[in-house]
Structure 1
Amino acid sequence: MKDKSITLIIYGRGGHKEQMKRLLSLMKSHADFDFISISDTEDHFDSLKHFRCSEPRDKFSVWKAPFQLTNNAITTLMQCVSILKNFKVQGLVSTGPGMVVFPALIFKLLGKKVIFLESWSRFYTPSLTGRIMYHIADTFYIQNETLQSAYPKAVFAGRL
């Protein structure tokens, strides 16, 4: 698998998954490409290889947060090592959620391209993941023009 370049996609459940579904549909219509994925759900897109990962925070319990963050960091570190060992990754594309932060940092430090799409449900306030990924991503897309003031260097791409 090391001879062909692939893309790593990272998405979460719900709206993040639906946005990735639409993005992959657009990408596949323009080019033939292979990808692997990391998600907090089962593989929905026939990835070459799929890794499961939990969210790095619990939105409903502040007490679980340090444990989940530690678990997420260790899990994604091991997944990234496995991915880099077995695949020739050209870059990472994500529609969120927070589980993308650690892999994005790792791939960015290794000189890989990182692309992030802020959620289409954000109109006026940035998401926590978006605020972090804005400083990590090589290309940061917003889907609502009203977010341009929050992300001045972002690329407005319209809705997926």
Structure 2
Amino acid sequence: MKVCLISSTGGHLVELQKFIPAVSTHNYFIVTELSEMSRSLAKREKVYYLRQQERHGWFFYLNLLLNIIKSLRILIKENPKIIITTGAGAVFPLCLFGKILGKKVVYIESFAKILTPSLTGKVIYKFADEFYIQWPSLIAHYPKAKYRGSLY
């Protein structure tokens, strides 16, 4: 089974890397944003890079378009059966197109989100096959989510 692990860089990527032992017996790859932190990951893992998703200005639209194209290419080339994501930023296009193409989408809300939902979580919650929260207080925002404790 092929697994796609996708997140933005920073804390989301740190959380995502906690899943590597669980998928290490499968054929897996990582998709993240290019940064100093993520660049070193390519020395030991199969990694694809997206552009960091700006939230404002015309760069938002340019990066979104480029990330949509890159996400489609990755999905077609790798054809994963399951997509696991910790969010944020540039993950939305790959998750949405993955769902459209029949892939199972699993979302894990960020450990940092204790009382309020993330923007990415609110959007992906609508179509995720599995949705996990790391704090029981978020069940009020995500009634169908599963609480299984913290990744830490």
Q: Same fold (TM over 0.5)?
A: yes
Aligned to 1:9: 5
The code of the aligned residue for 1:105 comes to L
Aligned to 2:94: 103
Shift of 1:23: 2.4
Unaligned regions of 5+ residues in structure 1, if any? Answer: none
Give the one of 16, 19, 34 matched to 1:20. Answer: 16
Counterparts of 1:109-148 in structure 2, within 5 Å, are 109-148=100-139
SS in 1 for 2:73: helix
- The percentage of aligned residue pairs carrying the same residue is 29
Q: Distance in 2 between matches of 1:18 and 1:138?
A: 23
**Alignment-mate amino acid for residue 107 of structure 2:** F
Instruction: Tell me by how many angstroms 1:51 deviates.
Output: 0.8
Aligned to 1:52: 49
Give the partner amino acid of 2:66: N
TM-score (norm 2): 0.85
**TM-score w.r.t. structure 1 length?**
0.82
Q: Offset at 1:43? A: 6.0
The number of residues matched between the two structures is 146
Find the counterpart in structure 2 of residue 150 from structure 1: 141
Specify the code of the residue in structure 1 equivalent to 2:47.
Answer: H
Counterpart of 1:140 in 2: which secondary structure? Answer: strand
